[in-house]
Structure 1
Amino acid sequence: MSRARGRNRKYRVMVLGLAGAAVVAGGVAVTGAFAGQEGAPPDGRQAAAQVISCPSTDGRLPEIPAQARAEVDRELAGLEQQIAEANERLIRSQGEGGPNFVQNAILGPLEDKRGAVLDRIGQAIDREGGERPQGLDALDTCGLNEAP
């Protein structure tokens, strides 16, 4: 292997390592974006870290027929993945857009996706002879909370 190629490989490994560390850190230290404001606060204060939080399905689902269990579990995992992806987007988009950016670009689409997943959960339970859950549509709306 030539010297130049060896240096490029070391550089790629270093960059990938830093990128991986940033992703891991990003999952812990979430954005400081203010809802309804663009960029940092004008008085120089540090913005409060925020995360997206959504209502839980815990205790909201009826008895799930055994035939529907795998599909429902897959869909529930999808809900968790959606929240993780939305939080990553919140981090990456800090300071972008205007006052309604978070609502229009992150929370609105997340609500649509969650609604579709919750509907599929209801259909899976109903299709396998279970009692179709009522009120799942109330679980699709998410909001911003300060990070713990």
Structure 2
Amino acid sequence: MQQGRRSRAFIPVLSVLAVGAAGAGIAFATLTVGAPEKTGSVQFSNPNSGGAAAATTSTVKCPTVADKLPDIPASAQAEVDRSLRLLDTQIAEANQRIVNTVGQGGPNLVQNAILGPLEDKRVATINRIATAIGRSAARPIGLEVLAPCTLNQ
């Protein structure tokens, strides 16, 4: 095989993996879109409990952002709404990661692999909200304190 050329069997495998990953991402996004950020946490119920709403694992609890924002200019409303939905999606993804990693890793797994990266994502999203508002009105300050999340036990 020449250098820099991949075998013909390798390319279809990558294509199948890419399509599968994209499909899983779309399916997850479809399940999480539209969930309002009321308490900033998502509870996962035990599928064996007959539909009871009892939580089976810890969940992420994040401060709400929407109620802490100043008046949003009409020109920024769509971007702010998208970013608020993204914050909801980030919480749902973190909760799903908690469910998927139960019993794995050491004592700092949740902080290092879930809460830390979640805070980084929330800082970026909250900054996008502040920037969107700041294009037409006074940029809100101090919103970054809403980025850290905790774990409900």
Q: CA deviation at 1:96?
A: 1.0
C-alpha separation in 2, matches of 1:58 and 1:66: 15
Higher relative contact order (CA 8 A, sep 6+): 1
Deviation at 1:134, TM superposition (A): 1.8
Q: Paired residue for 2:145, among 135, 138, 141?
A: 138
TM-score, scaled to structure 1 = 0.66
Matches within 5 A, 1:1-148: 28-29=44-45, 49-127=57-135, 129-146=136-153
Asked if structure 2 preserves the Cα contact closer than 8 Å seen for 1:115 and 1:137, the reply is yes
What is the SS of the residue equivalent to 1:110?
A: helix
Moved more, 112-121 or 56-65: 56-65
Shift of residue 28, structure 1, vs aligned partner:
2.5
Provide TM-score, normalisation by structure 2.
Answer: 0.64
Distance in 2 between residues matched to 1:49 and 1:82, nearest whole Å: 18
CA RMSD of aligned residues (A): 2.4
Give 1:95 shift: 0.9
Q: Quick one: percent identity of the two aligned structures?
A: 52
SS in 1 for 2:60: strand
Structure 2 gap segments, 5+ residues each? 1-30, 32-41, 47-55
Equivalent pairs counted in the alignment come to 106
Show structure 1 runs of 5+ residues with no match.
1-22, 31-47
Larger radius of gyration: 1
CA distance in 1, matches of 2:112, 2:71: 35
